[in-house]
Amino acid sequence: MLQQQVRSPEYLFFEAEKKKQFLSGSEAVREAIRKANVDVAISYPITPQSESMHLVGDLFAEGYVKEYFRGENEFAVMSSVAGAAMAGVRVFTATGGPGTMRAFEMFPVWAGSRLPIVCAFLTRGINSPLTIQPDTIEMAFLLETGMLMLHAETAQDLHDMLLKAFIVAEKTDVHLPVGVFADGFFVTHTKEILHIADADSKLPPYDPHCAPVPAMDMESVPVRQMRDPFVMKSNFISYAAHASWQQEIEAAQERSRKHLERYLGGLVETEHEDAEVLLITSGTAVSQSREAMAICRKEGLSVGLVKIKSIRPFPSDELRRLAAGKYAVIVPELNRVGWLAKEIKARVDDPRRVIGAPRVFGGMTMPAHLIVDEIRRVLQ
Amino acid sequence: MTEKMSIRMSGLGGQGVVTAAHILGMAAYKDDLQVTVNPFFGAEKRLAPAESYVRIAQEPIYERGEILYPSLIMVFHPHVITMGKSYTMPFFDGLEAGGTILINSASALDLSEEERDNLAKLDAQVHYVPASEVAMEVSGTHLSTNIAMLGALYRIQQRPSLDALESAMVERFGGSKFVASGSTAALDDAVKEKFAKVSQMIEKNLEVIEKAGESMFQQTH
Amino acid sequence: MEPHRYKVVSGPEGFLPPAAASMGVALPEQGEGLIEGARVPAASALEEAATRLVNAKHPTFFPGPLILWNWKDGIAEKAQALKDLADTLGAKIIPMPDYRPKYPMINPEIEVNPNHPNLTIWHNKIDVCVFIGVHCHYANMALKIIRGGTDCCTIALCAEAGHEDAVISLRDFALADLHALTAAVNRLKARG
Amino acid sequence: MSTRIVSISPAFEDLMPNEYKELVENGPYGKDYKVTDLGKYKELIEEHPLCAGCGLALSLRLVLGSLPSPEDTVIVGSTGCSALVFPQVGLHNVHSLFGNQNAVASGIKRALSLRFPDQVKDVVVVAGDGATADIGLDMVMQSWFRREKIATIMLDNEAYANTGGQESGMSMEGTVMNMAPKGKVFPKADLPKVAEASGCAYVAAASPSRPGKLGKVVRRAILIAREVGPTYVQLLSPCPTNFKTKPSDTVVTIKTREKEKSFKQYEYISDDARSFLSALDEGKQSEGKKSEGKQP
């Protein structure tokens, strides 16, 4: 194990020299966690995530992660990381697809309990029938769990977003779980070139005393403290307490915008945003859209691109502004339900201009020409 | 190199199509080229159809996933063609006009008239290499077939460089750092047992590369 | 929704008022405070807090667990400074010893609970209340309930990042700030 | 723990409600109270909203009075009647979801071991029979398989009581309840045997009809979990509401069950746990890193 020096997040993210490496997405997870100063990581296998948590296990064996074990199923793993987070340590886990569904009851608990858990969701399709292939449909289910959701396009994004996720998650005014999503296989199992900081630096440790709720350790006040209680039904005003609690989770999401803007350089990234037709999407659909945009622009078509990096909080104001006056907004997606198109339609001034297409799912690759066809069809 | 190389490797599980892609990708990376590598995303089973994909270019590469429109197709086993052991049918599906095909076979395959017509229409350059034979002959194991295929590819493309290929192999087989899936790792151990030393293995593999290149022949359809 | 126009003022705002953060109110940056949802220099927010306290009929401090319990060095001094400030103002101190939903009910005369802070405010006819030493999550929850159902003006003296849901909020609030607030109160009182 | 978290800032001493002052002045933190001391100090439960005669409330009071180091105990509960009590308990405790208590406890225990390597931190699970034997059984057993150093205590009222009296895996065969309208068709699960086979170092069945014995097994379970391995205690805690017995007859109900031989006290001590206990008896070994001299 390398001797690591604690450096500020600002140093690690913005100042440290970045060196070139040829890595798969799973290896990018490992390199992020190596520098994340994680206390407890808990794993459970599921394709295409397993490799990531194998590698985190290697980090444990090497000494970069202090505690690690394989839990019994995803619901239990998400429960165990919740326990560890309540007891005041930094935790990490990963899952995807059916694992996400198995664990589901815990996700709103994470947010409701103000737990700064970072979880990598390496997405895949959901049964039935069984599939192990990439598909982003699980994100549709997670939209309203209260967690922050970042969507990586590349292994580079996955690495950077994971590291930054810990820092945003642990801000006192946020203190919410962050899901970092990457499309299974297309990111996890693809080797590509990254630029990352050396592993001789690591993030500062988590300080549970900055949390907006007390740690469960019998060292924090108040001693009489239950996480997280029934809001007693015998109390006539309990409904207001529960409602106010939920609003506070939503408020914490809102507060994360400022931090995400700073660390991610904005919730969206644009290229040729003045074009007549905008491709707006997230994840690897952005990569495919980049190819499509290049083809179209060579033909002289006015096509631009908006990459959405944060799904929760959603860049509503940014998209409303960007979509205003466009001939069309095309939203390619790697799922059947088109959740992203729905999200965008609900926010822009003229939802009729938003086209939820093309879509592929069940593991299909989205060829750039499908997007090109859609652009041509719209412009005809 | 000005054009983007989009390489589809089709073979049977256990032949090392994924490993070949990794070595090729790593070599391209070492030559300072832009590159992405990914396998066909499925369960890994021996002798089942297996595919991997390598994209190499000088400009940044964005597109991901299976390569549907390859500029170069490598067929690691004749059964991919003759017995349809492939998820991509016919084997040249999607090949760019003027594209290249490289097939592991000691003799030209008996392709159907329709296949020959289509290949001719595509103006496809079809090369053969007795990769399995070269592997057995030079290194004493058919497990070097994938390296022989890379040798033939090198003969056609001249890139990535031989130096880069060598150092990619050292990195792939020399250390314990490489991340391979469970069954691929098991095969690695089998390969390693054949060679007392990794350096000896690399040396043999370089010889395989050279010999494979020499043994290639082209067939016009 | 009209972002950035939302004003955080004393209620009663209604059945279920929104979280100010969801209405576009942002937390203050370092060196700043909030007055009615607008970011202002910390000194202005401090002055406004002092003014509201001096003019209040029934000003009341709600010290939370982080200052009520003598759990680490420096707390006792802060507690004493708060007591002195309350004495200067002739204000009440009603503690919030913990956050549990209490059974069967609290005694609103002597304590406040974040799940139903309005009971204490109604009972004691509090028109200006000050949150201090309350974990942020519970403070925010209580501040919204107060804004919804009472006409009480809320002041949050936060050691962390501040509170949008308070009418007046300060952040990074330390012992020196408590002294500064007392000084401001004394100045205002002297002026009459 | 630093007992400072139960000391009041001097400036506010006069203002604190009485119950808190009592907790500070006369609470069990850092003391060496046993179950027989109940009534002599300010207990950890303030008030509770459970039914009159609730066997579970009785057990819970005795359990909390038996903790060897309440000042360093974190309790993990689960959904059910007992969860209604925990807001009133003077300890850090967690209600997560229904059935995941042992998974949550595993995470807490591991985290506290990292943060406080030289300190005792007891993690005790207290949950009902539905949470332990039915919906949470996999997580309960897996925590035993992994040898998590936590004590698991089941408050066995042989039913889902909070949801209105449904049959559980711990109900007696033949019991007619909601969701078993023709009577339960399989026997009460033998969880102590399952615990033994799953790697628990100590297993006991007891009831609040014998408070002294209950106190002893709970204390043993927590001390053994601290030093040796996972432990399991099952406490028969009848529900007068759903089984329609008189609230004043709860202990009578247990004694009748004992006479009918459908309930018996039980204790299993593994070899490792036995040598730990005898070392304690002989005073050769302290109970833990900082609780010198306490007897089991």
Tokens of A317: 């104001």
* CATH code at position A318: 3.40.50.920
Subunits in contact with chain C (3 or more CB pairs closer than 8 Å): A, D
A225 has a chain D CB within 8 A of its CB: yes
Confidence at residue B2, expressed as pLDDT on a 0 to 100 scale: 52
B100 has a chain A CB within 8 A of its CB: no
D118 has a chain A CB within 8 A of its CB: no
**Cα distance from C22 to chain A (closest Cα, Å)?**
5
Superfamily for domain range D54-281: Thiamin diphosphate (ThDP)-binding fold, Pyr/PP domains (3.40.50.970)
Touching D: A residues 233-262, CB under 8 Å: 234
pLDDT digits (tens, 9 = 90+) for B118-139: 999 999 999 999 999 999 999 9
pLDDT digits (tens, 9 = 90+) for A116-168: 999 999 999 999 999 899 999 999 999 999 999 999 999 999 999 999 999 99
Among D95, D108, D121, the residue with its CB nearest the CB of A226 is D95
The pLDDT of residue C44 is above 60 = yes
Among C98, C119, C136, the residue with its CB nearest the CB of A225 is C98
Which of A187, A209, A231 is at the close of a domain?
Answer: A209
Which of A191, A209, A227 is at the close of a domain?
Answer: A209
**In whole angstroms, what is the distance from residue D112 CA to residue D122 CA?**
9
Give me the amino acid identity at D41.
Y
**In whole angstroms, what is the distance from residue D124 CA to residue D142 CA?**
16
**In whole angstroms, what is the distance from residue C168 CA to residue C157 CA?**
9
- Same domain? For A147 and A56 the reply is yes
C66 Cβ neighbours under 8 A, 6+ residues apart: A221, C75, C133, C134, C135, C159
Confidence at residue B17, expressed as pLDDT on a 0 to 100 scale: 94
Q: H helices of A87-229, where?
A: 98-102, 106-112, 137-142, 155-169
- Residue numbers in B near A365 (CB within 8 A): 64-66, 68
A132 lies in a domain? yes
- Contact between D11 and C79 using a beta-carbon 8 Å cutoff: yes
pLDDT digits (tens, 9 = 90+) for D226-258: 999 999 999 999 999 999 999 999 999 999 999
Tokens of C9: 């003022």
- A92: nearest CA in chain D? D107
- Contact between C136 and A173 using a beta-carbon 8 Å cutoff: yes
- Strand partners for A19: A196
Distance, CA of A198 to chain centre? 23
Touching B: A residues 6-35, CB under 8 Å: 22, 24, 26-27
Distance, CA of D278 to chain centre? 23
Q: Name the residue with tokens 């106190």.
A: D215
Confidence at residue D282, expressed as pLDDT on a 0 to 100 scale: 83
The pLDDT of residue D294 is above 70 = no
D149 has a chain A CB within 8 A of its CB: no
In a 10 Å sphere around its CB, with 0-12 CB exposed, 13-18 middle and 19+ buried, how is residue A307 labelled? buried
How far is residue D203 from each of residues D62, D206, D222, D296, measured CA to CA in Å? 18, 10, 11, 15
pLDDT digits (tens, 9 = 90+) for A37-76: 999 999 999 999 999 999 999 999 999 999 999 999 999 9
In chain B, count of helices (H) and strands (E)? 8, 7
Size of chain B in residues: 221
Tally of CB atoms within 10 A around D229: 21
**In whole angstroms, what is the distance from residue C87 CA to residue C83 CA?**
6
Q: What is the dihedral of CA D222, D224, D230, D236, to 10 degrees?
A: -50
A76 lies in a domain? yes
B42 has a chain A CB within 8 A of its CB: yes
Among D29, D71, D94, the residue with its CB nearest the CB of A86 is D94
The closest of D62, D12, D88 to D216, measured between CA atoms, is: D62
- Contact between D8 and C111 using a beta-carbon 8 Å cutoff: no
Confidence at residue C1, expressed as pLDDT on a 0 to 100 scale: 42
Instruction: Determine the straight-line distance between the first and last CA of chain C, rounded to whole angstroms.
Output: 41
The pLDDT of residue D149 is above 70 = yes
**In whole angstroms, what is the distance from residue C62 CA to residue C117 CA?**
10
Is omega for the bond preceding A367 within 30 degrees of 0, making it cis?
Answer: no
Subunits in contact with chain B (3 or more CB pairs closer than 8 Å): A
- Contact between B26 and A193 using a beta-carbon 8 Å cutoff: no
Which of A163, A178, A209 is at the close of a domain?
Answer: A209
**Cα distance from D79 to chain A (closest Cα, Å)?**
9
**Cα distance from A105 to chain C (closest Cα, Å)?**
22
Touching D: A residues 38-57, CB under 8 Å: 39-40, 42
- Contact between C115 and A248 using a beta-carbon 8 Å cutoff: no
* Range B5-215 classified under CATH 3.40.920.10: yes
- Contact between A83 and D116 using a beta-carbon 8 Å cutoff: no
**Cα distance from A1 to chain B (closest Cα, Å)?**
14
pLDDT digits (tens, 9 = 90+) for D131-142: 999 999 999 999
**Cα distance from B140 to chain A (closest Cα, Å)?**
30
A abuts C (3+ Cβ pairs < 8 Å): yes
What's the half-sphere exposure (Cβ side, CA atoms, 13 Å) at D244?
Answer: 3
Give me the amino acid identity at D296.
P
Touching A: B residues 167-196, CB under 8 Å: 179, 181
**In whole angstroms, what is the distance from residue A90 CA to residue A69 CA?**
15
- Contact between C22 and A247 using a beta-carbon 8 Å cutoff: yes
B10 touches B17 (CB < 8 A): yes
pLDDT category at C4 given cuts 50, 70, 90 is low
Helix, strand, coil: what percent of chain A each, to 5?
40, 20, 40
In a 10 Å sphere around its CB, with 0-12 CB exposed, 13-18 middle and 19+ buried, how is residue B63 labelled? buried
C172 lies in a domain? yes
**Cα distance from D114 to chain A (closest Cα, Å)?**
8
- Contact between A218 and D108 using a beta-carbon 8 Å cutoff: no
User: What ranges make up the beta strands (E) of C6-48?
Assistant: 32-35, 38-41
Q: H helices of A87-154, where?
A: 98-102, 106-112, 137-142
A241 lies in a domain? no
pLDDT digits (tens, 9 = 90+) for A289-347: 999 999 999 999 999 999 999 999 999 999 999 999 999 999 999 999 999 999 999 99
Tokens of A314: 């959603």
pLDDT digits (tens, 9 = 90+) for A198-234: 999 999 999 999 999 999 999 999 999 998 877 655 5
**Cα distance from A291 to chain B (closest Cα, Å)?**
6
ipTM rounded to 2 decimals: 0.94
Confidence at residue A238, expressed as pLDDT on a 0 to 100 scale: 78
D5 has a chain C CB within 8 A of its CB: yes
B25 has a chain A CB within 8 A of its CB: yes
What integer best gives the mean pLDDT of chain D? 94
Confidence at residue B186, expressed as pLDDT on a 0 to 100 scale: 67
What is the C-alpha radius of gyration for chain A, rounded to an integer number of angstroms?
21
D2 has a chain C CB within 8 A of its CB: yes
The pLDDT of residue D288 is above 70 = no
Give residue limits of the domains in chain D: 54-281
**In whole angstroms, what is the distance from residue B71 CA to residue B93 CA?**
11
**In whole angstroms, what is the distance from residue A69 CA to residue C29 CA?**
40
A abuts B (3+ Cβ pairs < 8 Å): yes
**In whole angstroms, what is the distance from residue D94 CA to residue A79 CA?**
12
* CATH code at position A197: 3.40.50.970
- Residues above pLDDT 90, as percent of chain A: 93
pLDDT digits (tens, 9 = 90+) for A179-200: 999 999 999 999 999 999 999 9
Element (H, E) at B56: strand B49-57
Q: What is the mean pLDDT of residues B9-32?
A: 95
Confidence at residue D283, expressed as pLDDT on a 0 to 100 scale: 76
A13 lies in a domain? yes
**In whole angstroms, what is the distance from residue B53 CA to residue B37 CA?**
6
D87 has a chain A CB within 8 A of its CB: yes
**Cα distance from D78 to chain A (closest Cα, Å)?**
10
- Residue numbers in A near D96 (CB within 8 A): 79, 82-83, 109, 228
- Residue numbers in D near C72 (CB within 8 A): 4
pLDDT digits (tens, 9 = 90+) for C160-179: 999 999 999 999 999 999 99
The pLDDT of residue D273 is above 90 = yes
B7 Cβ neighbours under 8 A, 6+ residues apart: B21, B24, B53, B54, B55, B56, B67, B70, B71, B72, B73, B74, B153
- B181: nearest CA in chain A? A51
Confidence at residue C123, expressed as pLDDT on a 0 to 100 scale: 97
- Contact between B25 and A22 using a beta-carbon 8 Å cutoff: yes
- Contact between D92 and A42 using a beta-carbon 8 Å cutoff: no
**Cα distance from B167 to chain A (closest Cα, Å)?**
14
D271 has a chain C CB within 8 A of its CB: no
- Strand partners for B102: B74, B127
Among A212, A243, A254, the residue with its CB nearest the CB of C137 is A212
Q: What residues make up the domain containing C121?
A: 35-191
D10 has a chain C CB within 8 A of its CB: yes
A345 lies in a domain? yes
- Contact between A132 and B34 using a beta-carbon 8 Å cutoff: no
- Same domain? For A25 and A173 the reply is yes
Q: Name the residue with tokens 């303030």.
A: D46
The closest of C115, C110, C85, C117 to C99, measured between CA atoms, is: C115
pLDDT digits (tens, 9 = 90+) for A98-114: 999 999 999 999 999 99
- Strand partners for D152: D125, D232
- Residue numbers in C near A315 (CB within 8 A): none
Overall domain count for chain C = 1
How many C/D residue pairs have CB atoms within 8 Å?
Answer: 65
**In whole angstroms, what is the distance from residue A97 CA to residue A126 CA?**
5
C20 lies in a domain? no
- Same domain? For A194 and A278 the reply is no
* CATH code at position C106: 3.40.50.1220
Q: Which residue has the higher pLDDT, A266 or B3?
A: A266
pLDDT digits (tens, 9 = 90+) for D58-111: 999 999 999 999 999 999 999 999 988 998 999 999 998 999 999 999 999 999
Q: What residues make up the domain containing A292?
A: 268-379
What integer best gives the mean pLDDT of chain B? 89
The pLDDT of residue B182 is above 60 = no
Tell me phi and psi for residue C171, to 5 degrees: -120, 170
Overall domain count for chain A = 2
Subunits in contact with chain A (3 or more CB pairs closer than 8 Å): B, C, D
**Cα distance from D90 to chain A (closest Cα, Å)?**
4
pLDDT digits (tens, 9 = 90+) for D191-211: 999 999 999 999 999 999 999
